């Protein structure tokens, strides 16, 4: 068998665009969740009633700061799985000119991701409060600067668009639908027209509920759709699929209209400790996740992002889809043993 040389990796071949956030993570108590009306396991955008939460979590609990943002996490994990060469992965997003923005830049550099941030002064760098209770994490995102990403101010710039053109796999979390639909469509159409892979994540129930039109405008360009069991159920309900069976939901999502007919859509739904399901032609396959002892789970924040990152790291190498899922499971299994979406120095995946 031939060994793949490192040079088979082209720089900037995996492109991600999304909301770069600094995670403010803490183990909290039930009273804290109740005070702010949070479900134990959820992802929401901060409203006025949550403003005080960001101060209180820092004052009341032992917090850790981690570079976050769903897409950025996945891109970073993909680069970590690949290791060499550096900068196989590109990331675009918007930050403020401030301390938190500097931390995000530094963390991207340490992760060897080729990050190009649109920096503006109107809004501070976005944050996400990760409220951990046991195995659950309730995420409250205050997008701030992340919400200021502008297609004409950044994506359209010649030197930036060149980086988009260099890529062969694209990943955008559904969260970015709330920020810049036109940026997503420009990238999605480029991928479709050039028979490249465009991948999207359902990201959170609120995306399927309140950003349904934007989501469905992008769906015809989606080659790989990611989500978890809760997001899949909400998507099914909102789309009138009239089923709660996750395999049926996957089949129906796969069958939605698609522009590039050269590739069938692949739907991948994770289910926490239960098996991951993936559509393949007219079949749906289930892949068991790696076993882990309950006591080894530190927090599940970033598990879904890590799964996608692992998956993409193999997809960008044109590996079999089964191998992509395996890599996803490996990455998620590593991440849940650590606080936030952080990882050891090197992966041990084969």
User: And the tokens for 327?
Assistant: 């890599």
Instruction: Label the pairing between strands 64-68 and 21-27.
Output: antiparallel
Q: Which residues neighbour 116 within 8 Å (Cβ) at sequence distance 6 or greater?
A: 90, 91, 92, 154, 160, 163
In this structure, the dihedral spanned by the alpha carbons of residues 316, 322, 323 and 324, taken in order and rounded to 10 degrees, is 40
Whether the CB-CB separation of 21 and 96 falls below 8 Å is answered with: no
SS3 305: helix
Query: If you write DSSP's letter for every residue of 123-161 in order, what string do you get?
Result: SPPEEEEEEEETTEEEEEEE-GGGGG--IIIIITSHHHH
Helix (H) or strand (E) holding 170: strand 169-173
Whether the CB-CB separation of 128 and 21 falls below 8 Å is answered with: yes
Whether the CB-CB separation of 265 and 254 falls below 8 Å is answered with: yes
SS3 237: helix
- Residue 136 CA: distances (Å) to CA of 33, 41, 50, 304: 11, 5, 19, 13
> In angstroms, what is the C-alpha Rg of the chain?
19
User: And the tokens for 66?
Assistant: 């981690």
Phi, psi of 26, deg, nearest 5: -155, 150
Whether the CB-CB separation of 252 and 236 falls below 8 Å is answered with: yes
Residue bearing tokens 């609990």: 61
- Would residue 305 show up in a list of annotated catalytic residues for this protein? yes
Quote the CA–CA distance of 23 and 96 in Å, as a whole number.
15
Candidate list 23, 223, 299, 305, residue with the active-site label: 305
Known catalytic residues are 305
């Amino acid at each position: 068998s031939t060994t793949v040389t490192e040079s088979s990796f082209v720089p900037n071949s995996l492109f991600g665009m999304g909301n770069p956030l600094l995670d403010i993570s803490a183990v909290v108590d039930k009273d804290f969740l109740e005070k702010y009306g949070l479900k134990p396991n959820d992802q929401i955008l901060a409203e006025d009633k949550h403003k005080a939460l960001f101060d209180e979590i820092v004052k009341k609990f032992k917090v850790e700061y981690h570079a976050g943002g769903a897409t950025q996490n996945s891109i970073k994990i993909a680069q970590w799985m690949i290791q060499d060469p550096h900068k196989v992965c590109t990331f675009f997003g918007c930050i403020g000119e401030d301390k938190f923005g500097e931390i995000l830049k530094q963390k991207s550099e340490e992760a060897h991701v080729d990050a190009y941030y649109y920096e503006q002064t109107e809004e501070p760098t976005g944050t996400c409060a990760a409220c951990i209770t046991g195995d659950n994490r309730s995420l409250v995102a205050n997008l701030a600067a992340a919400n200021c990403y502008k297609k004409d101010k950044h994506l359209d710039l010649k030197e930036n668009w060149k980086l988009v053109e260099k890529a062969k796999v694209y990943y955008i979390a559904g969260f970015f639908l709330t920020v810049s639909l036109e940026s997503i469509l420009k990238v999605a159409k480029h991928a479709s027209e050039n028979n490249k892979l465009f991948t999207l994540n359902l990201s959170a129930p609120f995306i399927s509920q309140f950003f349904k039109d934007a989501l469905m405008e992008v769906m015809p360009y989606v080659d790989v759709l990611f989500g978890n069991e809760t997001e899949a159920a909400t998507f099914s309900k909102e789309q009138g699929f009239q089923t709660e069976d996750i395999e049926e939901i996957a089949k129906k999502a796969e069958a939605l209209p698609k522009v590039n007919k050269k590739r069938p859509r692949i739907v991948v739904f994770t289910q926490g400790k239960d098996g991951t399901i993936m559509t393949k032609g007219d079949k749906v396959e289930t892949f068991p996740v790696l076993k882990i002892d309950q006591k080894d789970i530190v927090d599940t924040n970033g598990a879904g992002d890590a799964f996608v990152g692992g998956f993409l790291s193999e997809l960008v190498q044109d590996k079999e889809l089964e191998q992509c899922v395996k890599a996803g499971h490996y990455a998620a299994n590593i991440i849940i043993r650590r606080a936030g979406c952080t990882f050891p120095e090197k992966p041990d995946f084969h």
